[in-house]
Amino acid sequence: MIGMKNYMNAYVDRRMKSVVDEWDLSRKDDVADFTARLDAIEQEIPRLKASKKTSVEKLTELETRARKLKEKI
């Protein structure tokens, strides 16, 4: 008779792909380049902050112009 431990190991081996997919688990391949991807994202932060600042300034300028145009009407 097969022991419980052996039965569970065999079950998990047969169903591993389903378990990984169902539980949305990461595989070794999925996280192999994680630090490189994280570094690339972190390097983008200053550029994105500058872009946000520029966008806010442009929006403020446009809102000011729109307000002045409304006042003239």
Judge if 21 and 44 occupy the same domain: no
Mean pLDDT confidence for 45-73: 95
Tally of domains in the chain: 2
Average pLDDT of the residues of the chain: 90
- For residues 1 and 28, state if they share a domain: yes
Give yes or no for residue 24 having a pLDDT over 70.
yes
Are the beta carbons of 19 and 25 closer than 8 angstroms? yes
Note the pLDDT of residue 23. 84
**Do 23 and 53 share a structural domain?**
no
| Dihedral sign (CA 24, 28, 30, 35) | positive
CA distance 16 to 28: 14
**In terms of domains, do 21 and 2 share one?**
yes
State pTM to two decimals. 0.49
**Confidence label for 29 from pLDDT (cuts 50, 70 and 90):** confident
Domain around 55: 39-73
Is residue 21 within 8 A of residue 14, CB to CB? The reply is no
Average pLDDT of the segment spanning 14-18:
89
